[in-house]
Structure 1
Amino acid sequence: MSNAKVNQGINLDDYRGVWVIAEQREGKVLNIALELLGEGRKLADKLGVELTAVLLGHNVGDIAEELIKYGANNILKVDHKLLEVYTTDAYTKVISDLVKERKPEAVLIGATTIGRDLGPRIAGRVGTGLTADCTRLEIDETDRKLLQTRPAFGGNLMATIVCPKNRPQMSTVRPGVMEKAHYNEYRTGVIEDITPTLTEKDIIANVVKVVKAAKNKVSLADASIIVSGGRGLGDYKGFELIQKFAGKLGGVVGSSRAAVDNGWIAHDHQVGQTGTTVRPKLYVACGISGAIQHLAGMAESECIVAINKNPDAPIFDVAHYGIVGDLYDVIPAIMAAIDDADSILEAIEENK
């Protein structure tokens, strides 16, 4: 018998390569796919293997080229009319069949609405484990295990999980956590067209009609400037000031969990482990003390400005700039200074 690791009839040495399920909607690659490519590239380089993006849809040839430029060595492009609109049955069958045939050692999926539906189904179909909602991925270089870290016990601690006996090692990854892959127009790779064994009989639940929500939800993950309010606002009326401040800066409104739990603002504005993880260019925390669950969701922001009356608030430990004071005094003063600066610039332009 060889020295290869064999568990439950699986030869772990047969599994090689890192896969990213590149989610797209209506012909546009989602940001989470680019984030997974960035992280997948790091993992693949540490393992000394190639990074493969799995792309499902219909008429998605242009997207495949784009994924190469963002770091994938190979694209498995599955273009089929029955894959135009996401269905659990079709996507699960196609990806599961590919996993069984090609044997990747790690598969990364975005923890989006679709990814959270798809990931467990694929894991169940191929007989492996799945770590959901990961915020950090690393490689144990001694035995090639994927170290998958995620919040546990309501976000009060972080758990690192491994899948020692089965392959592939599968993770869903929270959007906004990982850094996006860098675009390189000169990068080349291989695009392989896959013809799936897929018929309408394979799809039990059909999508009859796609109804888009009339209400536009805030897109925190894509925002470059976020102004968040917390318990220090006092009540829901405080978000009127936060909205004005965000508008003045050209940003969107975020919040802490406390503000959402108090019913002051909708959950889609929540930043943190139980909300959205963000990494904007500018994050302004107003009246937010800085609980660990909130810090974990915004600590990777490029520039953090904190406004709080308590000089000992934990938020100041991660802030690049801190202002100790009443936000109801500080924020109007900042907005007035912005207006003054705009007036000065306009006067300069007029006198040129």
Structure 2
Amino acid sequence: MQYRHLGKSGLRVSILSLGGWVTYGGQVGDDAAFECMKAAYDAGINFFDNAEVYAGGESEKSMGRAIKHFGWKRSSLVISTKIYWGGAGSNDKGLSRKHIIEGTKASLERLDLDYVDLIFAHRPDNLTPMHEIVRAFNWVIEKGYAFYWGTSEWSAEQISDAHRVADSLGLIGPLMEQPQYNMLHRERFEVEYAPLYAKYGLGTTIWSPLASGVLTGKYNSGVVPEDSRFGYKKDAVVQRIREASLDSEEGKAKLKKVVALEPIAKKLDCTLAQLALAWCLANKNVSTVITGASRAEQVKENVKALAVLPKLTPEVLAEIEKILDNKPESKPDRY
């Protein structure tokens, strides 16, 4: 396993990590979750990602039980959670000081941990003043409930605003952003955030590196396997992503690109999934790639992407770019 610093911090995270999402506590039970987490830990993965909303809080519980079951040394783990959607109550969602603090405490209880290493604002909250959000996350850090705070799917302008507010208050701004990034979804990561990597030392914990499975090739035939992520019909978010990724004209065009990538994967002696993961890792601004898995074998296969990374020469990357044909144009630094 390789490790990178998370942004400008001294914290080192494995370049591949494992996330819970709807999988643990939802799509699969504890036995499968435990096997996946152990396979990841044994491979050198130290970062495990979660959120209060995943599987209605059951994902945090499952991950917490695994940590306790294996008796892993807490200092060997980097655990994260995300706060925004905590329930149906009027103050159980958003980024008010009340929900950030109460949501954090509830997440820690579900995880059965004294603290998380990273805590994220799961989405921006335009109805809560930025100074309230910054103060609340700093309070969480000061109390020892988390070590670092960051954002997920915030705009570059919102991240910059949080830093300006933090600086004016003598507080800590967001260290990391958790955006979607993959071969088929690039604009925000490569263009919008570009000025922030140097300006704030922004770290990134990217999600959906396989575009919810599209880049594995499993959907190339047009049939959705029942045991796949898009086959999980209990989650409305998953189904919305499925419609956009597979059923739309844009989705069908993306599938054609995935088919065209198959010869490159074959030439590099790897799977499409391993190629897609290695492609993400080749970007120096990626701190860690969050993967998902419902079986231990998937974890082991994903880790093999590390062997593909050195094969991504400039020539191979250029060949991939020709197929993707979606490299975004750079824009002036506005932040």
TM-score scaled by structure 1? 0.29
- The structure where strand makes up a greater share of residues is 1
Larger Rg: 1
TM-score scaled by structure 2? 0.30
Q: Which has the higher contact order (CA 8 A, sep 6+)?
A: 2
